[in-house]
Amino acid sequence: MTDDITLHIPGPIPVEPDVLAAMAQQVRQHYGGDWVGYYQAFTERLRRIFATGGAVYPLPASGSGGVEAMMSTLIGNGGRVGVIANGFFGDRVLQIARAHSAQAEALELPWNRPADPGEVRTWLRRTRVSVLGVVHSDTSTGVINPVAEIAAAAREEGVAVAVDAVSSLAGMPVETDAWGLAAVSTASQKCLEAPPGLAPVAVTAAGWELIDRQPEPARGWYLNLRTWREYEHAWPHHPYPVTLATNNIFALDRALERILAEGLEARFARHRAAQQVLRRGLERLGFTVLADARWASPTITVAYPPSGTSPDQIVQGLRSRHGIAIAGGLTQLAGKVIRVGHLGTQAYPEKMQRVVDALEACLKELSAARA
């Protein structure tokens, strides 16, 4: 393995030296007075990022662990759930929903457009689910689903909304309380600018209300957010059920301080500016960006290369000759697209310009090799 490759894949991302240093400190006790005070300040910072006054749990897990905790707890044992499936990660939420309920419905949509709130409403009236799962920014397509509008429509139909914000939180607005969401899950290794290992999940009062009136509660223990709530209240010296990933928390906390110091609005503008540099550059080089500009994610761009050029060769050439890692497509987009992350520390216009310059050089190299 080499350190010479700069990660422009859609997560994980390079982290700042002070975040790495925070991770490298000596292991501490994860319960008792000192730690619990620190932990409360950490979760308060997380709440600010989620824009919620609700509960926040930093699960030691990858992003999928957080999504499973959120979905399984909201679904309960065998509850009725719907999922918007318009990308690889929407399909994953669906697989998770199906693992927890035989009554899981999918709103299957093409991968190149968001769900329309009107069609979601019509579908919810037909399916009569209690919970709706949706991915905010699908990392496989770079398409944003309009979560605020979908949640407003769902609320009017009495449906609680659970959001996979793994590649959106801290890179674009996510207003957990103001949008009336039941729960939101994310991961430490994307716009939160920390190493992989934590899956913070937020649950609002609306989420608990649904959870508390389920005919049959969820069956799991570790990923059951009821368990996390129980310990939060019953064990003040150890307000979580398990040993926490303390060093991951030190790193994430340092990153949260950075994020709050920068300011969320400034960050969102920075992500958008980086995205635009990349999009314009790709278009100039003859790529076709999958997502229309109206719903393009500020954190990931997915694009078809100019005709006659293989995306896999671009990915390889960028890595071997330019020291830049980008990603290829997933499942139905495999061998068709490239994916570039502009998440957190990647999301600077000048860094995106470097990626565009490397892509330009790589296209020339590939065409010279073909001649």
Ligand X SMILES: Cc1ncc(COP(=O)(O)O)c(C=O)c1O
- Where along the sequence are the contacts to ligand X (CB under 6 A)? 11, 62-64, 67, 89, 135, 139, 164, 166-167, 187
Least separation in angstroms between CB 93 and ligand X:
8
**In this structure, are strands 131-135 and 160-164 parallel, antiparallel, or unpaired?**
parallel
Which of 136/322 has CB closer to ligand X? 136
Which of 54/341 has CB closer to ligand X? 341
Which of 63/79 has CB closer to ligand X? 63
Which of 43/139 has CB closer to ligand X? 139
Which of 171/311 has CB closer to ligand X? 171
Close Cβ partners of 200 (under 8 Å, ≥ 6 residues apart): 46, 50, 56, 57, 58, 59, 66, 185, 186, 187, 188, 192, 252
DSSP collapsed to 3 states, 305-348: CCCCCCHHHHHHHHHHHHCEECEECCHHHCCCCEEEECCHHHCC
Residue least distant from ligand X (Cβ): 63
Paired tokens of 197: 């290992």
Least separation in angstroms between CB 65 and ligand X:
7
Q: How far apart are CA 246 and CA 138, in angstroms?
A: 29
Beta bridge partners of 39: none
Least separation in angstroms between CB 141 and ligand X:
10
Least separation in angstroms between CB 188 and ligand X:
9
Strand order in the sheet with 131-135: 55-60, 198-203, 183-185, 160-164, 131-135, 81-85, 104-108
Least separation in angstroms between CB 301 and ligand X:
14
Which of 204/299 has CB closer to ligand X? 299
Least separation in angstroms between CB 94 and ligand X:
12
Q: How far apart are CA 329 and CA 274, in angstroms?
A: 21
Close Cβ partners of 40 (under 8 Å, ≥ 6 residues apart): none
